[in-house]
Structure 1
Amino acid sequence: MTNKITFFRFSNSKSSFDYELKEKQIDEQNTLEAHKNYLKDNPNRSYKKLNDSDLTALHKLNELKKDFKAGLSYKDQTLLDAYNIEERLLKPELNNNSVKERFHTKVLSEFNLDDLKELISQKNYNNHYESYEESKKRVSDTDLHERIEVKDMTELNELIDEMNKKGWSVKQIEGIQSGRFNVNFGDFQSGGGGYGYGFTEGIMILWEYR
């Protein structure tokens, strides 16, 4: 009686074995969660496509911002960029220095502040909504769940059928476990950290020739 061994790697094992790819997937999941939380925190707002008038107003705001910055010294430009400009328009209490107050006054001379706040809020919501949908698809396309995919089962069944036709039958199947870990000891003040995880990389098949 003749035996031989082959190794069948699951299609999702590369994402588990490739640490950089795994990190990108984890980052994408964190991004997805951040967008999801933003949408959850704004339950009274829904996605609404901006019309031409809205886009014209946003373009006008960008041009005003550009012209205002052009008249500032480098130091004042840096000061103006210390906080997100649109965030300051949504929260005027952040305008706590002369440069920001001058910019706020300039905006008030060109826009109705309530209308502009609503437009910026809707634009921000739309951006989060679109990013959420895009991120959700990317996470789905690179699923992190450690499980056997449908295509793995199809390929495995095809392999077994092919081997059976050649006179080989499955005698034993064993899962192959792998893992990744890393430790960063850091310094005395910051301490250290690390990560570690295990995953099923594939299966070992012991064949028996009939």
Structure 2
Amino acid sequence: MPTFNDLYYTDIGNSRLDPEYTHQYDAGFTWNKARPGKILEAVFLEADAYYTEVTGKIVAVPTVSQFRWTMMNLGFVKIHGLDLRAGATLLAWERLRMGARATYTFQQARDFTDLADSFYGHQIVYIPRHAGSLIASADYGDWGLNYSLLYTGERYNGKANIPRNYMQPWYTSDLSLRRALRIEKMEMALTAQVNNLFNQFYDVVLNYPMPGRNYKVTLSVQL
């Protein structure tokens, strides 16, 4: 069913939205192994493959300009997808523990509403075919270091998958350093972050540029 915001959010909502109807097929597996006391403490692997047919798929699309959007139904959409996830934890040395987690998504979501449309069978707006992430961490005593990489593949900002609507892939890297502190009964954590480490310029939505390299320091206190 469409949400309250889909229906009524100011300037974007569409009170005439129909509900989505889907047929979904999914197959997957999960494998994990725990090895307490070993260098390779834990490892896991997950995979899901799916096929979905959606009638009346609800999407957000630009209207008269990129600054004015609305919600609408697409007549018929076919989605082929694959999700992969893997991770491991290492006890590298004494109290040094390292971990890594990676994900990958392939999603082909194509509009098959009207054979007469020039964009029949094209990837729907703003859905990347390829996306992924990598998170790596290292903890030693009260110190923690984390790195994350997010990747979004090529997309199109219009219904037609033509060069004019093409949007390049983008990625961001974030780095943070954490220090746990204890003063009497108080537990504190001081964290320093560098976001968009390599200062990449990118738009999640056309003409809405995202921040370049930025810094953040936080202090949390638990009584």
Whether TM exceeds 0.5 here: the answer is no
TM-score normalised by structure 1 residue count: 0.19
Larger Rg: 1
With CA pairs under 8 Å and 6+ residues apart, which has the higher RCO, 1 or 2? 1
Q: Structure 2 length normalisation: TM-score?
A: 0.19
Higher helix share: 1
Structure with a larger share of its residues in strand? 2
